[in-house]
Amino acid sequence: MVVSSPMRRILLGIVVVSLAACGGVSADAPLRVKLGTPRDQTLAALRAQKFCFKEDGPAQPVETYQRCERAGTDWGEGWVTATYDQGKLVELRRYERFSDDARAVERWNQLVGDRMKASPDSADAGDALRRRGPLEPGTRSVKAFQLDATTVVAVYLLTPSPPENASILEAVLAVSPVDKSGIEVITD
C-alpha cells in the first residue's frame, strides 16, 4: 500500500499527538513535590516534571531549575526555585513569565483549575498564607490550597515586577498549624 504525502503527514501528526499525550507529568502540571523531601528526590521529581538542574559545584541552600528543553512553541518561560535546609526541601516556587497578559490570565486559570481538581481553595489556607506575612509584590489575585496541616500551595497572578518579572507564581509553603480554637500553634 502506498501512502500519499498528505496522508503520511496526518499519520505522523497522530503519532506525535499520541506520544505527547502519553508523556506523563509536564512542566505545565501543578508542582507535586512535598516539603521535607531530600534534595536528591526533589531533583528527580522536578526532572520528571520537566525542570532541569545543571550541577556546577556543591549543593546550595537555594537552587534554580530551568524548564527542560522541549520541542514546540513556548508562550512564556518558566523556572523553579527550591529552598533547602539540611538537605531537605523547605520551600518550592515556580515562576512563569508571559509577554501577553491574556495568556498569563489563561495560564493562571488553568493552574487554579488543576489545583481545584485535587482540593478546593480554602479560607483556612488563605488565612495561613496571610499569617506568613504580606502577599507577594504585585499580587493581582491569589488562590490558596491546604495540602496538609503545615503546607499551603498559593497560586498567584502577578503584575510583573523586578527581579523575576513573573506573571504567575505557584508556591509550596510551610505554614504554622492552627488548633481547633483558631490559635496558631508554635513549634520548635
- Above 50 in pLDDT, residue 16? no
Q: Looking at the domain assignment, is residue 11 inside a domain? A: no
Cell of 117: 481538581
Cell of 97: 513569565
Q: Looking at the domain assignment, is residue 68 inside a domain? A: yes
Q: What is the rounded CA–CA span in Å between residue 27 and residue 70? A: 10
Task: Tell me the whole-structure pTM to 2 decimals.
Answer: 0.79
Cell of 121: 481553595
**HSE-up (13 A, CA, CB side) for residue 77:** 8
DSSP H helical ranges for the chain:
5-21, 39-48, 101-118, 123-131
Q: What are 122-139's pLDDT values in tens digits?
A: 899 999 999 999 999 999
Q: What is the rounded CA–CA span in Å between residue 126 and residue 186? A: 18
Domain count within the chain: 1
> Can you give the residue range of the structural domain that contains 149?
25-174
- Above 50 in pLDDT, residue 14? no
For residue 178, the model assigns a pLDDT of 58
Residue 48's pLDDT band (cuts 50, 70, 90): very high
